[in-house]
Structure 1
Amino acid sequence: MLGERIRTLRKEIGMSVTELARRVKTSPSHISEIERGEKMPSLNLLVKIAKELKTSIDYLTGLVGFAKKAMEVTEVALLDKASVTAAGRGFDQTGVYHDVEDMVYVPDYALGPVGEVPPFAVRVAGESMIGAGITDNSIVVVNPSAEVGQGDVALVAIGNEWTVKYIYTRADGSLELRPANSSYSPMLFSKEDLASGLVKVIGKVVWIIGKPKKEF
């Protein structure tokens, strides 16, 4: 039903598969697979498709109240490509102005409490967190107001670099940044590093969005 409705609405407004794919930033082949019922779109892609086809998620899925009950979403800014975050060794952020590249959509239930600093999204480069489902060029959504506990995945600033790692606080006040890939080594920082501001936990990673390597 989902694929059929997407195809029908797309044709009704005279939009090609290629044009829809370009607008929602995916590949034409992926749209075709969705329309044939071979694949299901991610939440982020489903919201974008619904917006481009000027319809609702409820209509596309055929589930009345589905969007309200399970898919209430918040629009979150995806920082520009200069703000690539490393899941490897780190990415230099010196002097970077964080322009907004795009908007992504995140379920409200996943965000957690939202404070004065709003959630934001950044791209990830590297494969040190592949075991946590964060692959090279995927997008992570970070909530600076969410509590970061032991073993949570978080965005961390190390000087002028950003990186994504598991967080573990030790009894002596030191901080361990642990990868999710055995090819990478953990990083350990003393409580003095934390007190000086050399290392700062920016926020908890609350949502992951897969991203194809190729831009369309």
Structure 2
Amino acid sequence: MEKIGKNLIELMEKKGISQIELSRKAGITQRQLWNIIHGKVKDVRYETLQKLARGLEVKVSDITGETEEIQREKKLIESQKEKIKRFLDQITEIEPVHKPLKPIPVYGRIPAGRPRETWNELVEDYINIPDAPDNAFALKVSGDSMIGAGIEDGDIVIIVPGGDVFNGDIVIALIDGSEFTLKRLIKQDNMVILQPANDNYKPILFTEEQARERLQILGVMIGIYRKIKRARSSDILQN
């Protein structure tokens, strides 16, 4: 900063401007200007340098002794720092929202493969989910036909029964009143399709008339619950 102070003194003498007049033209206090001239400011903001340059009718590089390219880089860095600071300030102002957990019953397994009769009416377990609808329930996935949709064998899917079903929803479907399956529901060209998300499985096709007679949608998937398996003691990495 000593270089900036020296350059400012030389420029003020050359322009015949006093410190009081320069501080007025630049829109900064006399104390600020004195601190800059005497090297008391560790890092002079680019915005302040621009004000001083306008007051002296010179370029910023005339004050700093640096090239305009370096000054542009410093301005960009300073701008990025300001954006980060504003972002962090906004984050600290946001109050965390603590949503109450609600126990959801897990009834058994749902095939994510070929349809099977595997829905257990007895509650096997409970999982705690925030903001779950009152009528939500859960089923454990068996199979890999929906792996392309991020649903793996052993995952627990959260289901809401009834309500609207939209084209593309992942649903629990009951076929012929006896077989259950987890698939994506697609309506296309007068056809109703239970579409897997794995090329190893074929879609299940119905005409609209067949769907009315043979297909019942029992619920729509709204989420996935997954437990992560920890490494065994033999898998622990040694330093």
Provide the TM-score with structure 2 as the length reference. 0.51
| Deviation by residue 1:80-103 (Cα, 9 ceiling, x = unmatched) | xxx31111002214xx65111111
8 Å CA contact 2:162, 2:218 repeated in 1:
no
Instruction: Supply the AA of the counterpart residue of 2:223.
Output: W
Task: Indicate yes or no: 2:184 matched with 1:166.
Answer: yes
Distance 2:224 2:111 in 1: 14
Instruction: Give, in angstroms, the shift of residue 169 of structure 1.
Output: 1.4
Q: Which has the higher contact order (CA 8 A, sep 6+)?
A: 1
What secondary structure, in the 3-state scheme, does the structure 2 residue paired with 1:91 have?
A: coil
Matched, 1:73 2:89: no
Equivalent residue for 1:98, pick from 113, 118, 121: 121
- TM-score, length basis structure 1: 0.56
Aligned residue number for residue 176 of structure 1: 193
1: CA distance, partners of 2:98 / 2:167: 28
- Could you tell me whether the CA contact under 8 Å between 1:144 and 1:202 is conserved in 2? yes
Q: Secondary structure at the match of 1:92?
A: coil
Question: Are residues 97 and 179 of structure 1, via their aligned partners in 2, closer, same or farther at CA, if it must alter by over 3 Å?
Answer: closer
Contact 2:184 2:196 (8 Å CA) reproduced: yes
CA distance in 2, matches of 1:147, 1:199: 16
Matches within 5 A, 1:1-216: 66=96, 69-79=97-107, 83-93=108-118, 98-108=121-131, 111=132, 118-159=135-176, 160-172=178-190, 174-196=191-213, 198-211=214-227
Give, in angstroms, the shift of residue 183 of structure 1: 1.6
Flag the structure with larger Rg.
2
Which of the two has greater helix per residue? 2
> Structure 1: any 5+ residue segments left out of the alignment?
1-63
Partner deviation per Cα, 1:7-49 (whole Å, 9 max, x = no partner): xxxxxxxxxxxxxxxxxxxxxxxxxxxxxxxxxxxxxxxxxxx
C-alpha RMSD over aligned residues: 2.5
How much does 1:201 deviate? 1.0
Shift of 1:146: 4.3
CA distance in 2, matches of 1:102, 1:122: 10
SS at match of 1:100: coil
Q: What are structure 2's unaligned runs of at least 5 residues?
A: 1-93, 230-239
Q: CA deviation at 1:123?
A: 0.8
Whether the 8 Å CA contact 1:84–1:91 is kept in 2: the answer is: no
Partner SS for 2:124:
strand
Instruction: Tell me: CA distance 1:70–1:145, structure 2 relative to 1, closer, same or farther (3 Å).
Output: farther
Deviation at 1:193, TM superposition (A): 2.3
- Paired with 1:204 and 1:97, the residues of 2 have a C-alpha distance of 18
How many residues align structurally? 136
* Partner-residue secondary structure (3-state), 1:192: helix
Q: Which amino acid aligns with 1:71?
A: K
Work out the CA distance in 2 between the residues paired with 1:75 and 1:199: 30
